[in-house]
Amino acid sequence: MKKKIDLKIECKSCGGTGVYRGIAEGNGAAVVCNRCKGTGCENYHFEYKEFTGRKTIKDVERVFITGYGYVVGVKPITLCNGVFVDFSKEGVSYGDFLKGKMPKHIKQMGCPMLADQSACHDIKGFTEICNDINGGWLNYIPGCKCKNKMKCWERFEKSNN
Protein backbone atom coordinates (compact mmCIF):
# COMPACT_ATOMS: atom_id res chain seq x y z
CA MET A 1 0.00 0.00 0.00
CA LYS A 2 1.35 3.42 -0.93
CA LYS A 3 1.67 5.97 1.83
CA LYS A 4 2.09 9.72 1.50
CA ILE A 5 3.53 12.28 3.87
CA ASP A 6 3.30 16.02 3.33
CA LEU A 7 5.38 18.19 5.64
CA LYS A 8 6.52 21.75 6.00
CA ILE A 9 10.22 21.61 6.75
CA GLU A 10 12.86 24.22 7.47
CA CYS A 11 14.38 25.46 4.23
CA LYS A 12 17.65 23.66 3.59
CA SER A 13 19.20 26.65 1.79
CA CYS A 14 18.55 29.45 4.25
CA GLY A 15 18.11 27.50 7.49
CA GLY A 16 14.61 28.89 7.97
CA THR A 17 15.55 32.58 7.77
CA GLY A 18 13.99 33.32 4.37
CA VAL A 19 17.11 35.20 3.33
CA TYR A 20 20.40 34.17 1.85
CA ARG A 21 23.85 35.64 2.40
CA GLY A 22 26.75 34.50 0.30
CA ILE A 23 29.97 36.01 -0.98
CA ALA A 24 28.09 38.57 -3.08
CA GLU A 25 25.99 39.87 -0.18
CA GLY A 26 28.19 41.98 2.03
CA ASN A 27 27.94 44.85 4.48
CA GLY A 28 24.79 43.60 6.22
CA ALA A 29 22.91 42.79 2.99
CA ALA A 30 20.94 39.64 2.13
CA VAL A 31 18.75 38.46 -0.72
CA VAL A 32 15.45 36.60 -0.64
CA CYS A 33 16.11 32.87 -0.59
CA ASN A 34 15.31 31.53 -4.04
CA ARG A 35 14.49 28.05 -2.73
CA CYS A 36 11.74 29.02 -0.27
CA LYS A 37 10.90 32.43 -1.78
CA GLY A 38 11.44 34.07 1.60
CA THR A 39 9.08 31.89 3.64
CA GLY A 40 11.82 30.03 5.51
CA CYS A 41 10.06 26.73 4.86
CA GLU A 42 9.69 24.17 2.10
CA ASN A 43 6.86 21.82 1.31
CA TYR A 44 8.22 18.31 1.44
CA HIS A 45 6.30 15.47 -0.19
CA PHE A 46 7.35 11.90 0.42
CA GLU A 47 5.72 8.80 -1.05
CA TYR A 48 6.60 5.25 -0.13
CA LYS A 49 5.34 1.71 -0.23
CA GLU A 50 4.81 0.18 3.18
CA PHE A 51 7.07 -2.84 3.72
CA THR A 52 5.01 -6.03 3.89
CA GLY A 53 7.82 -8.57 3.67
CA ARG A 54 10.86 -9.33 1.60
CA LYS A 55 10.11 -10.17 -2.02
CA THR A 56 11.90 -12.90 -3.93
CA ILE A 57 13.58 -13.03 -7.34
CA LYS A 58 13.12 -16.22 -9.38
CA ASP A 59 16.47 -16.54 -11.17
CA VAL A 60 18.97 -15.92 -8.32
CA GLU A 61 21.03 -18.96 -7.29
CA ARG A 62 23.71 -17.50 -5.01
CA VAL A 63 24.19 -14.34 -2.96
CA PHE A 64 27.57 -12.70 -2.25
CA ILE A 65 28.42 -9.95 0.22
CA THR A 66 30.05 -7.88 -2.56
CA GLY A 67 31.60 -8.26 -5.99
CA TYR A 68 34.96 -6.68 -5.01
CA GLY A 69 35.05 -4.86 -8.34
CA TYR A 70 34.71 -8.07 -10.34
CA VAL A 71 31.76 -9.62 -12.18
CA VAL A 72 30.44 -12.42 -9.98
CA GLY A 73 28.58 -15.50 -11.16
CA VAL A 74 27.76 -19.02 -10.05
CA LYS A 75 30.49 -20.99 -11.86
CA PRO A 76 34.21 -21.37 -11.03
CA ILE A 77 36.56 -18.85 -12.67
CA THR A 78 40.19 -17.84 -12.64
CA LEU A 79 40.61 -14.10 -12.11
CA CYS A 80 42.95 -12.05 -14.28
CA ASN A 81 45.52 -12.16 -11.46
CA GLY A 82 45.52 -15.99 -11.59
CA VAL A 83 43.42 -16.52 -8.45
CA PHE A 84 40.88 -19.37 -8.74
CA VAL A 85 37.43 -18.71 -7.24
CA ASP A 86 34.72 -21.36 -7.14
CA PHE A 87 31.63 -19.18 -6.98
CA SER A 88 29.44 -22.28 -6.66
CA LYS A 89 30.93 -22.77 -3.18
CA GLU A 90 31.30 -19.12 -2.11
CA GLY A 91 28.57 -16.89 -0.76
CA VAL A 92 25.31 -18.60 0.22
CA SER A 93 22.49 -20.16 -1.71
CA TYR A 94 19.57 -17.84 -2.33
CA GLY A 95 17.36 -20.17 -0.30
CA ASP A 96 19.70 -19.95 2.69
CA PHE A 97 19.85 -16.16 2.30
CA LEU A 98 16.07 -15.98 2.41
CA LYS A 99 16.21 -18.01 5.64
CA GLY A 100 18.55 -15.42 7.18
CA LYS A 101 22.03 -16.74 6.43
CA MET A 102 24.44 -14.00 5.36
CA PRO A 103 27.40 -14.58 3.03
CA LYS A 104 30.98 -14.21 4.20
CA HIS A 105 33.76 -12.36 2.39
CA ILE A 106 35.54 -14.15 -0.46
CA LYS A 107 38.99 -13.41 0.91
CA GLN A 108 40.95 -14.51 -2.14
CA MET A 109 39.22 -11.81 -4.23
CA GLY A 110 40.59 -8.85 -2.34
CA CYS A 111 41.73 -7.31 0.88
CA PRO A 112 39.54 -5.91 3.66
CA MET A 113 40.06 -2.37 2.33
CA LEU A 114 38.54 -3.42 -0.99
CA ALA A 115 35.73 -5.31 0.74
CA ASP A 116 34.76 -2.79 3.44
CA GLN A 117 36.90 0.34 3.45
CA SER A 118 34.80 2.19 6.03
CA ALA A 119 35.16 -0.70 8.52
CA CYS A 120 38.93 -0.60 8.00
CA HIS A 121 39.00 3.13 8.74
CA ASP A 122 37.06 2.47 11.95
CA ILE A 123 39.83 0.17 13.24
CA LYS A 124 42.50 2.22 14.97
CA GLY A 125 45.78 2.01 13.07
CA PHE A 126 44.52 -0.34 10.33
CA THR A 127 44.86 2.01 7.36
CA GLU A 128 48.15 3.37 8.69
CA ILE A 129 49.66 -0.12 8.29
CA CYS A 130 48.30 -0.22 4.72
CA ASN A 131 49.93 3.14 4.05
CA ASP A 132 53.25 1.92 5.51
CA ILE A 133 53.18 -1.18 3.28
CA ASN A 134 52.69 1.08 0.27
CA GLY A 135 55.32 3.65 1.17
CA GLY A 136 52.78 6.43 1.68
CA TRP A 137 49.09 7.11 1.35
CA LEU A 138 47.24 4.21 -0.34
CA ASN A 139 45.13 6.03 -2.91
CA TYR A 140 44.30 3.08 -5.21
CA ILE A 141 43.32 0.01 -3.21
CA PRO A 142 43.59 -2.57 -6.05
CA GLY A 143 47.20 -1.41 -6.51
CA CYS A 144 48.19 -2.27 -2.92
CA LYS A 145 51.71 -3.72 -2.72
CA CYS A 146 50.85 -6.25 0.01
CA LYS A 147 51.50 -9.76 -1.32
CA ASN A 148 49.73 -11.65 1.48
CA LYS A 149 46.10 -10.51 1.67
CA MET A 150 45.33 -13.25 4.21
CA LYS A 151 47.50 -11.44 6.78
CA CYS A 152 45.38 -8.35 6.17
CA TRP A 153 42.23 -10.40 6.72
CA GLU A 154 43.69 -11.82 9.96
CA ARG A 155 44.44 -8.29 11.16
CA PHE A 156 40.93 -7.14 10.16
CA GLU A 157 39.14 -10.04 11.85
CA LYS A 158 41.26 -9.80 15.00
CA SER A 159 40.31 -6.14 15.35
CA ASN A 160 36.61 -6.83 14.74
CA ASN A 161 36.32 -9.53 17.42
**44 and 6 part of one domain:** yes
66: number of Cβ within 10 Å: 16
Under a CB-based contact definition with an 8 Å cutoff, are residues 43 and 6 in contact? yes
**156 and 115 part of one domain:** yes
- pLDDT of res. 101: 98
**102 and 135 part of one domain:** no
**62 and 32 part of one domain:** no
For the chain, the domain total comes to 3
**101 and 133 part of one domain:** no
**58 and 104 part of one domain:** yes
**69 and 103 part of one domain:** yes
**Does residue 161 register a pLDDT over 80?**
no
- 159 pLDDT band, cuts 50/70/90, is confident
- pLDDT of res. 141: 87
Domain that holds residue 33: 2-49
- pLDDT of res. 108: 87
Which of 84, 56, 57 has the alpha carbon at shortest distance from 70?
84
Residue 23 or 36, more confident: 36
- Averaged pLDDT, 95-112: 93
Q: CA-CA distances (angstroms) from residue 145 to 139, 140, 141, 142? A: 12, 10, 9, 9
- pLDDT of res. 94: 97
**45 and 63 part of one domain:** no
For 45, phi then psi, to 5°, come to -115, 125
State the virtual CA torsion across 107, 108, 114, 118 in degrees, nearest 10: 10
**70 and 30 part of one domain:** no
- Averaged pLDDT, 106-122: 90
Q: What percent of the chain has pLDDT over 90?
A: 73
